[in-house]
Copies of this chain bind each other. A is one copy, B any other.
Amino acid sequence: MIALGDRAVAAARALAALDTRRKNAILRGMADAIEAQRATLQAANSQDLAAGHVAGLSAAMLDRLTLSEARVAAMADGLREVAALRDPVGRVLRRTKRPNGLVIVKRRVPIGVIAIIYESRPNVTADAAGLCLKAGNAVILRGGKEALHSNGAIVAAMLAGGTPQGLPADAVQWIATPDRDAVKELVQLEGRVDLVMPRGGESLIRAVMAQARVPVIKHYKGVCHTYVDADADLKMALAIVENAKCQRPGVCNAMETLLVHQDVAARFLPMVARRLGVERHVELRGDDAARAIVPGMIPATGDDWHAEYLDLILAVRVVPSLEEAVSHIQRYGSAHSDAIVTSNQETAARFLRDVDSATVYVNASTRFTDGGEFGMGAEIGISTDKLHARGPMGLEELTTYKYQVTGTGQIRK
C-alpha cells in the first residue's frame, strides 16, 4: 500500500504539470474507450451480477450494480461533460502587491492524491476518476467487492483510452483486493494520501472515520427538515413537502422530518395526510400534537427524530415557534439541507442565519442540494463537514491553493 501511495504521489506531480487541453483529451479518450468496450464491461458486470444473485443481494442492490447499455453510455457522457467544464487549476484567487514590492499570488492548485472509497455502484469508478483527473489529482479507487469485475473492467478501459492521450502512469489506481485491511492502510497513508472521500452508507463512513489518519470529507447521512411557518403559503408548502419527501425518497437530500408551526397545523396537517398519506402512500409518524389533528398517524418515538428513513416514511412534529423549529433541527438534524416555508422575510432571514447546515432553503425543496442543480456541472459528493468544503462539491472543491510570492531581493527587516 505504501508503494501504491508513492506511485500516486509521483503521478500527482505529473498531473499537476498537464495543461487543460491535455487533460480534456485524456478524458475524451477514456470516454471513447468505455463506449468501445461496452461488451467487455457488460460481460464483467454479468460476473458480478451472477455472484450477487448467489450471495442473495437485494433487488435494489442488484439494480444499482447493473451496467445497462444506458449506464455505460452515461459514464462516457459524464467524462465528456467533465472535459467540457472549466478547469479550476491555475486560477488566481487573489493577487496582492505589498508595500515592500512583493507580489503575492494565491493560486488554485490540485490537492494531490485523493482516495475514493465507495460501495456498489460501478459508475462511481468513472465519475470520480474523471473529476479527480480534471482537477489535476491522482486518484486511488476502492469500490465495493460486489462490483469487483465491473470496476476492474472500467478502470482497464479508462487506462486503455487515456494512456495514448498522455494519462500519466498511476494517475488512476484501483485496489482490487477485497481485503478490508487494505482500506485501513490506505486511510492511514499520511504524507501520501492528501484526502479520503468515503461515499456510501453511514456504517462505511463511520468505519473510515474510526481508522483514518489523513483528512476525510464526508457526510454521514441526510436527516433533512422542512419547517412550515405560521406565515407560510400552505399550497406552496404542500408542493414543497411532497417533492422533498416523494420525488426520490432514497437519497440524502430527501426530507425526513416535517415541522409545522402550531398556528397552521390544524389546517396544514390534514392537507399533508391527504396528499402524502393517502395519495402518495407515505407513512406518517407524528408527535402527540400532530396526532391530535390527524389521529391516523403512527406515534413517533425518539428514534424517529434521528431517522434517515430513505423511504416513504415521514416524521411530523408540531412546534410552537421558529426558535423551537431551529432547536429541533440543530439537535436532531445532520447539517445537510433544511428548509423553511414562509412569506415573512424576517423569519426567513433568521432561519437562514440560525440553522447551521451546509444548505438552508427558503421556499424551495431540499432536493436541490446537488452539484448539478447548483450549477457546478458535476458533483463528487456532498459534505456536512465545515472545513475545506461544505455542501455539494464540484471541481473547485477538489483543489487547494498555494501562495506564489515574487520579489526583487526583498529581505525581512
- B-binding residues in A (CB < 8 A): 13, 16-17, 96, 98, 102, 104, 109, 111-112, 194-195, 209, 213, 215, 217, 233, 236, 239-240, 242-244, 247, 330, 348, 352-354, 356-365, 367-369, 373-375, 385-388, 390-392, 400-412
State whether A96 touches B374 (Cβ < 8 A).
Answer: yes
Q: How far is the CA of A406 from the CA of B363 in the complex (A)?
A: 6
State whether A361 touches B407 (Cβ < 8 A).
Answer: yes
Q: Are A411 and B13 also in contact (CB < 8 A) when A374-B96, A400-B390 are?
A: no
Secondary structure type dominating chain A contacts: mixed
Q: How far is the CA of A96 from the CA of B353 in the complex (A)?
A: 18
Q: Are A412 and B373 also in contact (CB < 8 A) when A215-B385, A368-B102 are?
A: yes
* A407 CB, nearest partner CB in chain B, Å: 3
Oligomer copy total: 2
A400 CB contacts on chain B under 8 angstroms: 386-387, 390
Q: How far is the CA of A405 from the CA of B363 in the complex (A)?
A: 9
State whether B402 touches A357 (Cβ < 8 A).
Answer: yes
State whether A374 touches B195 (Cβ < 8 A).
Answer: no
State whether B16 touches A353 (Cβ < 8 A).
Answer: yes
A390 CB contacts on chain B under 8 angstroms: 400-403
Q: How far is the CA of A166 from the CA of B266 in the complex (A)?
A: 40
State whether A98 touches B375 (Cβ < 8 A).
Answer: yes
State whether A354 touches B407 (Cβ < 8 A).
Answer: no
- Identify which of B17, B387, B405 contacts A215 (C-beta below 8 A): B387
Q: How far is the CA of A387 from the CA of B195 in the complex (A)?
A: 8
A409 CB contacts on chain B under 8 angstroms: 233, 236, 239-240, 363-364
**Which of A365, A388, A405 is most buried by chain B, counting CB atoms within 10 A of its CB?**
A405
